Chains A and B, each alone.
Chain A
């Protein structure tokens, strides 16, 4: 009996001490914007440090983007605008770019932010001792100078069109704190001082990072006082935390988005779902050095034989788009005339017949010169890619191609197969940068081990366009170049574009001021304008 009593008391205690954050009833009421409050989100990984050029992983850039500023940034429609820079001019020979900084910029510690800091950051990122993978863009600068505190000037050897994009990507670091330090191994990485909306408040190893409003923010104050990012590696746990109202923001997967949330009215009352264009696409890539993938008819046949809509419906539950060019849909770089290869198995069979593939021995598998048309699709442990491979396997079987699937651990996949070029077909993804330059992915010179044209794509016309595109700074002329490039790429079909999935953020309804529907830049573009009305704030975490 006493034992039962103990358990009873324990349960009662547990219940009594459980944080009781029942949602307030007026979640749907309108509230005027106001400052204050804490927003909690979940991240699956922990940053290794908060100097973005050193850390490299997405978790680091997500946090660092709240702390540091670049010279330029992308606005809601993905056009460049000034961030630290007030304006910028390009010289007539297109080789020199002059940035004019906004006056009276300050670091979070109150020191002045000047063009010396920008110059210092450029020196860091191009220094051979700096262990950064991002130096290449900035090494093209022949001369960088800071003639006065508000002017920063860079001169390139020849015009370099992706330059502006690269200056939107380089976050400026404070010279007065980092000079003379080893940037690869400095305590600054765990205790950064920046210039943007927030500054670091606390970093609890393995648990969370808290940011607090920076009163010296060069872009003006944000509305929300504190941002807390909890590290929760497992997506199922993240979702439970969202259901329990312990976090405000997370990215959902298609099943959670399309099935689980809509089926729960309680959850629906508290959570708003958003949909934004993703930043990457999934593709099926051929090793163009291996027969029969050196034959464009075979590649096209496989492209026709794959039903992209089926993949989108099956893998993404409809939450994606088919693409015909390697650019973000809706941006100017997408050639509107291009359409994805339609699903047409008959055309596929006909093309394969032209290439010499027929079922001579009657075993249901096409063959040429006695060799069956059979290959292995390699992919890594990624559910969406695995599922895509299975659907593709079935469609190809229907036209007489025998496909096996092999799923590999990431490092083995890269080290053993991609780097050595020892593969036939892969299912992988590319993320998309906002600059249209894709020289490193498609140019024929980029096919050495470890480089990114590992499928060995080689088309002299495409090479030329890629080279031209890098030299052309005029957006309209540049657009024509990349439209033509996309057309050739689609024709050659070195990869089959499978789909581009949407980003699917779920955000508690206590967070207001979110742009819906999402603009091209995604909902996060104005997160400093988001606010939490006082009656909706969490009760258990009052402000310090």
Chain B
């Protein structure tokens, strides 16, 4: 047995032990040792990181030794069986359909509901594990400095450890239910950490908001899981064979891959994500599953329309923002969709939706980020925007798209963590002031932070050779290729596809050719989709420019211009301690190097990997290509030799440069230009037209003056005045609505985040509150009222009876006697 099993256990176990130990020991027992939680956490994360690297090595080793017949590698380690219900569900066999495109066959029969606590090791998981543990180790080191002296020091590290445990379990789970459990667990940790300073009302409400908005997404995700269960009959990712044990009872064994079914196996439980390409559902059910999963991913990864929680989540400690709300947790949605690639490939419409959501969110968030003054908020919107990029890449649906999305996830984690930690460093120095208008010119005060922040900004803006450039270019290239593949080259593409992987299927007399897995377009034609992708490509380019603009706007506002330090800093603003700058430097090195280190597509001709598959020219992409979800089936059919898109790269780099230059023009040195631009975008010029000054100015114009004098001379001044008044009325009529809609000016739209919070407030929160008030009133007046009325019956009856208690003994006696006599009489007359 290799070491994969123990490693997979060690990776989540170390943070879990750390979390439990801190929670149990730190508040009381080891209160004296202030640094105990931090050191324990860093040690645990270090162990996880080393184990992750070892796991990566193991996986790479196995990749090098896979047989030619099975280009994928996965290893599933079953720890124990959590739930085991035999014959939980009877799957109806799929109805025979006239149209083979509509439904794919699903085998019928009795299904066991078996949930194994099973961890998996494959390329995707290994990548995510390395990324998560690496970033979290650095953040823990940073947090040790940043959280110094906070009352919740131990709590912070307990939460962070719990989060890392949940996140590592999330990415290594091999089961949808387990994924969902830890999906919720990271949400919980996010909630706890956003509301870390729960005494602050804004933090508490931000935590609540994040939790509630995530519930919306998780609801969709849960529905998606139900649909997956009823459709595919299992929630496992992996396939497993059932082997009859010796004592007659049936026992399940997990197989690494199902290329060979061992002797004695009685059946095979096909995992959801490791089936044959033909056996995925197309049509409505497939689309529904994908869209529901997308809803879940949107909630977790803060995509439109559920993006509103992420900017508010910046109320948490900055290391948390770096770790959870920038680098790791928010990428869970990306990971999940990448993991579910086979499902999405079967429904190309869902991919279009994913791409649209991603592209739209990217553009929207970039526009909002342009005008924010809160440094962390700018970075938060930038995160939303970059996540949108990743969705866009995943939505491209090709192998290049998915791998470029994961590539961007990987690089983004580094430079976004860098930027957040840098902003944390700034915040730390500025006495927790984060409003960029209140500080400036920190270049000399915080040199290390400045340089590392600059590297992060360059990476985010996507300038070569920084990390963001490579991944962003890969995404743009993938979308570009997708659009082209779908439009003009559609037919040719089909032809090659068919030649390579096509399959004929007899169908009511005629012969129709259905490409395998390369989903079936039912709602739109590929040409329409191509148009959509074309637009998305343009939006992504525009977003690239905006990204550079807002990134450097923040950078210039913070580090350049007149030196300005808020009083909260206490007069001793200084560079942060080494424990905080060291992670910055490490991350900066990564942000510089990780892109060109991994991406080689620009320097070599397309090459081929062992097994005859085209190399994407990207180390990470090739590595991910061994993941079973990406190795086979429809997605592999879209695998093309990697090509560096020099044209796209040049355009995006130029646009980014333009953005930087524009930012420099607006914000470097003084901000007059910026003020002018913002005034213009506030429609100030329109308002200016109504000022008395401007009207007077108009009167002083020579031509107007001449007309006036001429009119006076002809004693037609009244006419001129009437005409002037008429013009004024017209201007008013046109302008008043515009003044009323002043808040709809582009600048205000951007600054007020396109009023999403207000829209949700009025469409969701308030109606719900009204309904809640109504329910409360119903409860109070109807239900409670009924209960109270029932309680009042004895009182009323008692009051009635009270009037009979007149205190006369003979009266009671005669009542009793008459009552008895009436009973006796009744018994006598009508008794049997």
A and B together in one complex: no
Q: Which residues of B contact A (CB under 8 A)?
A: none
